[in-house]
Amino acid sequence: MIDVVIVKTKEDLNIDSLELGDVHRMHIQVSDNSLGVPWRVPLVIIRGAKPGPIVGITAALHGNELNGISTIFKLINEIDPQELAGTLVLVPISNVPGYLMNQRYFLDGVDLNRVMPGKEKGATSSIYAHFFINKIIRKFNYLLDLHTASHGKVNSLYIRADLDNEDCRTLAYLQNPQIIVKKYDENGTLRGWANDHGIPAITIEIGNPNAFQHSLIDETLEGILNTMRYLKMIPGTIKDMVTDDTTVCDHSYWMYSNRGGIVDVLPDLADEVSKNEIIAKVYDVFGQVKEEIKAKHSGIVIGKNVRPNCDAGTRILHLGVNLMEPNPENIPGHSDYESDSE
């Protein structure tokens, strides 16, 4: 028989009231649903016996991005609260309605990671965002926000971070990722809000949606433990912060098909491609090539489409590039910048 602890629901997260050296599980109430009862966000709080920072880790802010949930579950098993310095606040499911509907978006079809910090008196998603930020995220000293690619796409393990911010750069390098993409504090994202409010934050993109991919999950876990060593929350040697395997990109953009048909994307994730290399072919239903899509710059493949049936204007390949180009006006695909996968 497995013992399961009864989980309490609380109005607010009061970290100081929680006993040191223990693991606490609870729901925090956010906005009301149509039954007139609050949505309840599940939290696991590991309160170390020793003093240290409060590190928050959020997963499934897009409800079908699930690798972060397993990462958090594995982390819980790695940590002994008696040995921990500081507090871990783990949020395995951030977008509760989206998770229940197995979809990226919130109930009202809005992307929660575009409306942060929300409004107390706003749209359905905005009210949820407001209480999520104020009851939970505001209590953190650091934030790691775990995501994946969106539906029909696959991702490598990569980091989005504002590399001009010293703390964010350190957090990014501590993950030892395949790829880091330099992203500034985009409007409406959880990461952007946190950075604007003195909570250094990065986004960790872990593979594909709707799945548990244990090799990527284990790599992500290793990065989180490395971060905790750096913050002196757990003992141990910090692993190399920059390896030769890490590619840092100053920009990234999606390439699109112009024609509809059956698309075959040629390079693999994390492959390097050269300028003018053919990265995808679009076929008609008779097997004839209608379009060859060429890379506009040399770069590295961050993500790609894996759903062959494509309409005209489908996202085909997410390319990380180094342009030394400060003006995003000159970056292809910039108009779709806001709807990127973070």
Residue number, 155 or 314, with CB nearest to Zn ion: 155
Q: What is the CA 214 to chain-centroid distance, rounded?
A: 16
Please give the residue whose beta carbon sits closest to Zn ion in the complex.
Answer: 147
Residue number, 24 or 153, with CB nearest to Zn ion: 153
Residue number, 276 or 339, with CB nearest to Zn ion: 339
CB of 203 to Zn ion, least distance (A): 8
Contact status: 139 vs Zn ion (CB under 5 A): no
Contact status: 147 vs Zn ion (CB under 5 A): yes
CB of 180 to Zn ion, least distance (A): 17
CB of 106 to Zn ion, least distance (A): 12
Q: What is the DSSP letter of 338?
A: G
Instruction: Return the H-helix or E-strand segment holding 72.
Output: helix 67-78
**Structure token digits, residue 224:** 């989180």
DSSP helix/strand/coil, 159: strand
Contact status: 153 vs Zn ion (CB under 5 A): no
Contact status: 62 vs Zn ion (CB under 5 A): yes
276-335 positions binding Zn ion, by CB under 5 A: none
**Structure token digits, residue 3:** 């013992």
**Structure token digits, residue 95:** 């977008």
Using the rule CB under 5 A, give the single segment among 51-59, 146-154, 261-269, 276-284 that binds Zn ion: 146-154
- Draw the binding track, 21-60, toward Zn ion (x: CB under 5 A; -: no contact): ----------------------------------------
Using the rule CB under 5 A, give the single segment among 26-34, 139-147, 238-246, 254-262 that binds Zn ion: 139-147
Q: What's the angle, vertex CA 114, arms to CA 111 and CA 120, rounded to 5?
A: 95
**Identity of the amino acid at 243:** T
| Secondary structure of 178-214 as H, E, C letters | CEEEECCCCCCCHHHHHHHCCCCEEEEEECCCCCCCH
DSSP helix/strand/coil, 339: helix
How far lies 68's CA from each of 13, 153, 203, 217, 341, in Å? 21, 17, 11, 7, 15
**Can you give the binding site for Zn ion, defined by CB under 5 A?**
62, 65, 147
